[in-house]
A and B are shown apart, each in its own frame.
Chain A
């Protein structure tokens, strides 16, 4: 449930679901997000669900904080909200050409590469949110002993398809972008496709992802 609603600037509502990051709280956020989206409430022009917050943006020409707050507070959240969550398999190649930060991780986590990859692949990940750059999924949770801080100095260019880890999350760079996550591999699969206007994101909040290890040859042949 929403614990507190405040304003973020003069054109958005900041709905706080608490400080913890877990699937239960995030599922609540996603439920509210979907319910608000379906209702097409006048004035609301954007919604940003994240781990434990939901930001509701509105057009200040049409509405204001008081009006939108009242609507959200009195929203009837239907328990039977239909949620279609997919389970996806994403191929990842961890050849040395792609695993840019594996040596750093070996030092930080005190594991050999093989062990890091074994831990990484042997898991189901839950998509908490998508964003930062278009379509980038934030996937959790990594095992406690797999959690590393982001790079001290972020890269100016992280290659498209890079699969990175930081703290309890894994993510995928949907296109070349600056970024500071520890890169362990690369996927040949397109995660964001702007030509599909209806469904540009392959992975959406609430979906489950498993990574499948592929060789460099399989990677090269993937899109042929």
Chain B
């Protein structure tokens, strides 16, 4: 047993270990998985002095309440998250994107995300967890990854295998940007839909349904009418693909999606908007805006540059 660990007093709703995910396994039915919001994943690691792709704790809506046992460690929370640090004699309201030091017996209570979905907790060091296909990412559907592919649960321990010696305080001023227009490239079955529905798709608002998780985001709103066939021969899916099943309500594939599907693809979310798409909470409205491939490529480059600038400021 390692000396440094967290005791999970309350696990939270959907708390998992995530890193950058696993690639080259679509052909056997395993999706990328990985941290839903990549930018915040990178930033959280950098803010505790880690390499940017080490495993972190991802949570959705309500996060965990953890008690730290061991030597000093620094931690950071990223996203738009409300959390408290409970020290021996006092409590601190935590700020995201600012590192804090925990001592033996201190607790961190991640109360909730604020009008967003995912947040990240990183520690200055390495978690003692298992890797599968080069990634710790927990895919609860396939029961793959660390923690036997299951969400973290109350009473469990999170062992820490290594703590960085340099724990200098780090901080950036950053607010996760909200986005209402999600940019989309037309899908391979765009012409399966009626002229009216094509218009509706790019003009009307849709509401994010409660039935959304790491696998997919379901939308409600005007029905999208299929005029050719409500099924296609099953073929590969990607994160960001928007499928429209027979009921006319679009579903966006997210990081833990099934790798093959048989519903027509009306569009694909541009990579530049993926981090912000996953943060849109149930009940919120979204609108799609069509962009061309070349614009999507340029916008992604700019987004990447911005991410690197943020990282280099830390």
3 smallest CB-CB distances across A and B, nearest first, come from: A48-B236, A9-B268, A55-B236
Q: How many A-B residue pairs have CB under 8 A?
A: 134
Q: A9-B269, A53-B235, A192-B29 are in contact. List 19 more A-B contacts (CB 8 A).
A: A9-B241, A10-B271, A47-B24, A47-B26, A49-B236, A50-B234, A50-B235, A52-B235, A55-B26, A60-B271, A65-B293, A130-B27, A131-B258, A134-B144, A175-B142, A194-B132, A194-B142, A194-B143, A204-B28
Instruction: Answer yes or no: A119 CB below 8 A from chain B CBs.
Output: no
Q: Report yes or no: B259 in contact with A14, Cβ–Cβ below 8 A.
A: no
Using known A-B contacts A10-B297, A51-B234, A60-B297, determine if residue A134 contacts B28 with beta carbons closer than 8 Å: yes
Tell me the bound Cα distance from A9 to B299 in angstroms. Answer: 13
Interface centre among A19, A54, A130, A201 (most CB of B within 10 A): A130
Using known A-B contacts A50-B233, A129-B260, determine if residue A10 contacts B270 with beta carbons closer than 8 Å: yes
Tell me the bound Cα distance from A201 to B270 in angstroms. Answer: 32
Q: Which residues from A are CB-within-8-Å of B271?
A: 9-11, 60
Tell me the bound Cα distance from A27 to B26 in angstroms. Answer: 18
Instruction: Answer yes or no: A136 CB below 8 A from chain B CBs.
Output: yes
Q: Report yes or no: B240 in contact with A48, Cβ–Cβ below 8 A.
A: no
Question: A residues near B, CB below 8 A?
Answer: 6-12, 14, 19, 21, 33, 37, 45-55, 57, 60-61, 64-65, 129-136, 138, 174-175, 177, 192, 194, 197, 200-201, 204-205
Tell me the bound Cα distance from A192 to B144 in angstroms. Answer: 11
Q: Report yes or no: B28 in contact with A201, Cβ–Cβ below 8 A.
A: yes
Partner of B235, one of A51, A60, A65, A204: A51
Tell me the bound Cα distance from A11 to B270 in angstroms. Answer: 9
Instruction: Answer yes or no: B238 CB below 8 A from chain A CBs.
Output: yes
Q: Report yes or no: B235 in contact with A9, Cβ–Cβ below 8 A.
A: no
Question: B residues near A, CB below 8 A?
Answer: 23-30, 32, 132-133, 141-144, 149, 185, 187-188, 233-238, 240-241, 258-261, 265, 268-271, 293, 296-297, 300, 304
Q: Report yes or no: B185 in contact with A10, Cβ–Cβ below 8 A.
A: yes
Partner of B234, one of A8, A65, A134, A138: A138
Q: Which residues from A are CB-within-8-Å of B187?
A: 8-9
Q: Report yes or no: A48 in contact with B188, Cβ–Cβ below 8 A.
A: no
Q: Report yes or no: A132 in contact with B29, Cβ–Cβ below 8 A.
A: yes
Q: Report yes or no: A48 in contact with B27, Cβ–Cβ below 8 A.
A: yes
Tell me the bound Cα distance from A14 to B300 in angstroms. Answer: 20
